Structure 1
Amino acid sequence: MSEAMNGAEVTMMDVGGRTLRVATWRLDEPGEHPPVLFFNGIGANIEAVAPLAEALSERPFIMFDMPGIGGSPEPVLPYNPFTMSWTAAQLLDRLGVDTVDVMGISWGGGMAQHFAMQHAARSRRVVLIATSAGMLMVPGKVAALSKMANPRRYIDPDFMKRNFETLYGQGLGKSAGKGGHMARLKPPSTRGYMYQLLCMLGWTSAPALPFLLKQETLIMMGDDDAIVPLANGKFLEMLIPNSELVVMEGGGHLFLLSHKDESVAAIREFLDSPASRDEERSAA
């Protein structure tokens, strides 16, 4: 087991016609909290966000590498948000999990939105981190986006180091966590990376959010994010009926790591807050 995966059970599972590398934390331990189903950012393997699963130690966690990412084999066929949400639901069935709290960061925030709408009955609450409504978004800085679309940021360590601050903002670029984060990244395959890019091509949640995303939703954004500017979080807050926005001051795209303590505290407070009347009615 990787040093970045302390406490995780990691297995290869055949799910919905795909083989996926799956990591779970504390899934078989007794507890009062539903598991967290986490969707990662584009090209990022499970290890990149493993510290969050370790920090929220009172909750079970479920993560998986997208096809061609991390330890999951290359995809044969492309996929889209609908088919991958279905695959994630099939994974929950295999793991014997009914209800989850859904989280996603960046690209994975789009998947989290789609999953919560497509599988509303299985999604208790939603946490959206440094993300947008898809194609209807305020774009980031051109310099950052051009590097974001280049798989060299994973394949070439020197490229990553040279462009880290451009990609992720000063919020993490000068922090002590910079080297540790890069050490956790594993290069995706070119096909895996491109299929992940294509998955969200033309997708937007904006028209559906006011009507289909009814869960209590926490939106977390950094005010120094060069990839997904803060305006996108404000747009999501406007569209999602039961949502609240938390802004990490000085946070770049990876404020989840640079502002770890504040981020974990905000997530924990949100997930532990009393159920609203809407949630109580849905549970009934």
Structure 2
Amino acid sequence: MKTAEISMETVGGRTLRVARWRLDMPSEHAPVLFFNGIGANIEAVAPLAEALNDRGFIMFDMPGVGQSPDPVVPYNTVTMAWTTRKLLKRFGVEEVDVMGISWGGAMAQHFALQYPGITRRLVLVATSAGMIMVPGNPAALTKMANPRRYVDAAFMAQHFETLYGGALAGSPGKGGHMARLTPPSPRGYMYQLLAMLGWTSVPALPFMKKETLILMGDDDQIVPLANGKLLKALIPNSELVVMKGGGHLFLLSHHDQSVRAIRNFLAAPEKTEQKKAA
């Protein structure tokens, strides 16, 4: 990965594989803290980290995902947010723009709610409010829940369009994305699923004080656009941008458009005074 520093870090009793881009580079922008989708490793989102080259970027493989060791005990959103905060402290990071995709979008919401004092802005990509959501296409959801998509290349190729939409399936980005994936361990995948069991942000989102960008695709078979509209209705200071023809991985199929929307949002002047919480 271009310019990424990779290390194994033990924080909060967990060992995580961490990738950092440009954290030591002088910048007028807060670094991005990124939470990945379920079962997805660092490399899957490396193109986005490299594209946002005017700011730092940090992300990590969840326990049992990518090259992070298997989790010994289960975790939940509270404990993983706490672990992430300790990781940021290790690298001297005291303010971040928080971003997450799909499963990671739920983690991003929870982190921003648990640690508002270090969260500047929030970017939610192809995600929902957790258990209270509009479900996706059953055909896509059954494939999504099967970790075989990471292990069996033929299975992934056969069901790619059902999972991620026709825009990416017919593009050169399909092969590149598949090549970057590393299969999670069965335990790692299961613990990620368990971490969100019963979780929803719905009661808390009306109290969210952070400026929030919600990016959704209108051809997303896994997290339908209606979920983005629900987030928009619940989060007071939010805006919704819809990628026309975008499936679940529109960050890849609509790469330039997505990066432009994220850049513009993160660089825009503050709309409201953000009160720092301890």
TM-score by length of 2: 0.98
Equivalent in the alignment of 2:271: 276
State the alpha-carbon separation in 1 of the partners of residues 93 and 85 from structure 2: 9
Q: 1:266 aligns with which of 239, 258, 261?
A: 261
Q: 1:106 aligns with which of 99, 102, 105?
A: 102
Equivalent in the alignment of 2:12: 16
Equivalent in the alignment of 1:60: 56
Equivalent in the alignment of 1:118: 114
What pairs up with 1:51-90 in 2 under 5 angstroms? 51-90=47-86
Amino acid at match of 2:142: S
Q: 1:192 aligns with which of 179, 188, 191?
A: 188
What pairs up with 1:89-238 in 2 under 5 angstroms? 89-211=85-207, 213-238=208-233
**1:241 aligned to 2:236?**
yes
TM-score by length of 1: 0.96
Equivalent in the alignment of 1:47: 43
For each residue in 1:203-238, what CA deviation from the matched residue of structure 2 results, as whole angstroms up to 9, or x when unmatched? 000111101x21000000000000000000000000
Q: 1:255 aligns with which of 242, 250, 273?
A: 250
Q: Alignment partner of 1:121: what SS? A: coil
State the alpha-carbon separation in 2 of the partners of residues 219 and 20 from structure 1: 28
Amino acid at match of 1:262: Q
- The structure with the greater share of residues assigned to helix is 1
State the alpha-carbon separation in 2 of the partners of residues 27 and 145 from structure 1: 36
Q: Alignment partner of 2:117: what SS? A: helix
CA offset at residue 169 of structure 1? 1.0
CA offset at residue 249 of structure 1? 0.2
Q: 1:78 and 1:31, CA in 2 relative to 1: closer, same or farther beyond 3 A?
A: same
Amino acid at match of 2:88: L
State the alpha-carbon separation in 1 of the partners of residues 67 and 84 from structure 2: 17
State the alpha-carbon separation in 2 of the partners of residues 113 and 174 from structure 1: 32
For each residue in 1:7-62, what CA deviation from the matched residue of structure 2 results, as whole angstroms up to 9, or x when unmatched? 10000000110000000000011111111000000000000000001001001000
Amino acid at match of 1:238: A
**1:34 aligned to 2:30?**
yes
Amino acid at match of 2:234: L
**Is the CA contact 2:116–2:276 (under 8 Å) kept in the aligned structure 1?**
no
For each residue in 1:148-206, what CA deviation from the matched residue of structure 2 results, as whole angstroms up to 9, or x when unmatched? 00000001111111110010111211111000000000010000000001110110001
Q: Alignment partner of 1:47: what SS? A: helix
Amino acid at match of 1:99: E
Which aligned runs of 4 or more in structure 1 are off by greater than 2 angstroms?
none
Q: Alignment partner of 2:79: what SS? A: helix
For each residue in 1:114-136, what CA deviation from the matched residue of structure 2 results, as whole angstroms up to 9, or x when unmatched? 00000000100000000000000
CA offset at residue 266 of structure 1? 0.2
Q: Alignment partner of 1:82: what SS? A: helix
**Is the CA contact 2:118–2:276 (under 8 Å) kept in the aligned structure 1?**
no
CA offset at residue 277 of structure 1? 2.5
| Equivalenced residues, count | 277
Which 5+ residue runs of structure 1 have no aligned equivalent? none
State the alpha-carbon separation in 1 of the partners of residues 77 and 23 from structure 2: 25
Q: Alignment partner of 2:273: what SS? A: helix
CA offset at residue 107 of structure 1? 0.3
State the alpha-carbon separation in 2 of the partners of residues 181 and 224 from structure 1: 19
State the alpha-carbon separation in 2 of the partners of residues 98 and 33 from structure 1: 12
Alignment root-mean-square deviation, CA: 0.9
